Structure 1
Amino acid sequence: MWCLSCNSLTDSLLCPVCKKKLASLSFAQLYEHRCPTCGTPVLDPIYGCGFCQDALLSYGVYDGVLEHLITGYKHAGHIQGAWQLAELFIPLVARFGSPILIPIPSSRSGRRSLGYDHMALVTWILCKKMHLRSIRLLAQQPKGHYTLLSRTQRQQTSNLVLREKNVRRMESLVQSQDNTFLILDDIYTTGNTCRRARELIQSAWDVPVGFCILARA
């Protein structure tokens, strides 16, 4: 087996050296401060805690080994990376109890090039490992004029919509019991995609919605 990051021969998805580098990129190691309320790693308590303020948790910095894992899986079709990325999600997701997982969908072009929706696959693995449920509630609508926007304009908008065929199932999940819903995504830049996803869900249903992110750029 070859290491997913450095391509050295190893007996696991990451070699021991890359595992250490990956851990060093985690906020748990990078941040020496902890939120006095919940214990989440924070840069400085004066800035507040993303978990307490916005129900948001993230693993680490989008750099080095973590960046290699995400880009290799998301753009180069290194499908084994799904299992390694799912492992990083497990302790984050566990902080929310037993949530219903909602993956941010891949773009249509991304699904065509890879042959799968990268976050949906990671979510499926998490559900199997943690005995959770998920719903593919969100979709990327056809881009249309979205492709003509500048990078800055794209960062300020979103083409997410609700998947109509799963709305009825969502209604059932909402009515069945007090469920927490958790949005999963790989990279957090401006936060616009996650905010749009939560707005869509909470405008239709009055339910708590949190975020789990692998990397913050």
Structure 2
Amino acid sequence: MGNHCLYCESTIKETITWKGLFRSDPQYLCGECQKGLQPIEGQRCLHCSRSLEKLSDELKIDEVCRDCFRWEENPNWQGILLQNTSLFEYNDFLKEYLARYKYRGDHTLAKTFGTPLAKHLKPLQFDHIIPIPLSEERHYERGFNQSVCLLEEAGITASHLLARSHSEKQSKKSRQERLQQKQVFTLTDKNLAGQSILLFDDIYTTGTTLRLSAKLLKAAGAERVTSLTLARG
């Protein structure tokens, strides 16, 4: 009896290869659903991982998208978040996949990303990896923090150095509202002198949430703050 796809529940047909006889990564999606996960390839924005090849010329400046150019032009935000890396395109498939994962409580869907996250994180060096927290109210509502579960699937122990006050769901806010958001985070450890911090979240949209977090971390003495997200929205 074969395994079943976590997403569509069809039977996963196993292809046996010489490599597969010795060791193979677990398969959680069928071939068709796996095609829906599209790694970001080609030239990316140096700051946020956005695909530059899919952007029109007026939305990019050299090797940076216009959004990141504006962030870095602003003295309040310049250098706060050194770089974001995203693994997958936020296409229709992944949008629906993550919605089902986050909002409908299907947290077993996190298993799909354990191996790619673990492989990406293995060569990286950092003092702390911090998942973006949910407010207590949002955590109670969902029953789990989607970013923490993703890291657990990758075998990574997270540092919970940030707390979040309650606010309206990010998905309900317009782009302009997100960009103008006030500080919603607090630090549980205010002595991060000289440390390298990696923030982790499921989606990079405007970059506001990650930068608000990074600003606190930098103020606490962190030398370097970068971020990793599953998807670039």
TM-score scaled to structure 2, two decimals? 0.68
Question: What is the alpha-carbon distance in structure 2 between the residues aligned to residue 10 and residue 212 of structure 1?
Answer: 29
Paired letter, 1:160: V
Residue of structure 2 in register with 1:210 after alignment:
226
> What CA deviation, in whole Å up to 9, does each residue of 1:40-64 have, x standing for no partner?
89535932498xx932110122113
Paired letter, 2:92: G
Residue of structure 1 in register with 2:30 after alignment:
15
Deviation at 1:179, TM superposition (A): 4.3
Q: 1:141 to 1:96 in 2, by over 3 A?
A: same
Question: What is the alpha-carbon distance in structure 2 between the residues aligned to residue 27 and residue 158 of structure 1?
Answer: 30
Count of residues in correspondence between the two structures: 193
Paired letter, 2:9: N
**What is the SS of the residue equivalent to 1:162?**
strand
Q: 2:165 aligned to 134, 141, 146, which one?
A: 141
Deviation at 1:119, TM superposition (A): 1.2
**Structure 2: unaligned runs, 5 residues or longer:** 14-26, 54-60, 69-80
Deviation at 1:86, TM superposition (A): 3.1
Question: What is the alpha-carbon distance in structure 1 between the residues aligned to residue 222 and residue 143 of structure 2?
Answer: 34
Question: What is the alpha-carbon distance in structure 1 between the residues aligned to residue 223 and residue 213 of structure 2?
Answer: 13
Paired letter, 1:69: Y
Paired letter, 2:7: S
Q: Is 1:69 matched with 2:69? A: no
**Percent of counterpart pairs with the same letter?**
24
Residue of structure 2 in register with 1:100 after alignment:
128
1:84-99 map, 5 Å: 84-94=112-122, 96-99=124-127
Question: What is the alpha-carbon distance in structure 2 between the residues aligned to residue 10 and residue 98 of structure 1?
Answer: 36
Question: What is the alpha-carbon distance in structure 2 between the residues aligned to residue 56 and residue 180 of structure 1?
Answer: 14
Q: 1:27 aligned to 40, 54, 75, which one?
A: 40
Deviation at 1:68, TM superposition (A): 2.9
Question: What is the alpha-carbon distance in structure 1 between the residues aligned to residue 118 and residue 165 of structure 2?
Answer: 29
Deviation at 1:159, TM superposition (A): 4.6
Q: 1:158 to 1:87 in 2, by over 3 A?
A: farther
**Structure 1: unaligned runs, 5 residues or longer:** none
Q: Which structure shows the higher helix fraction? A: 1
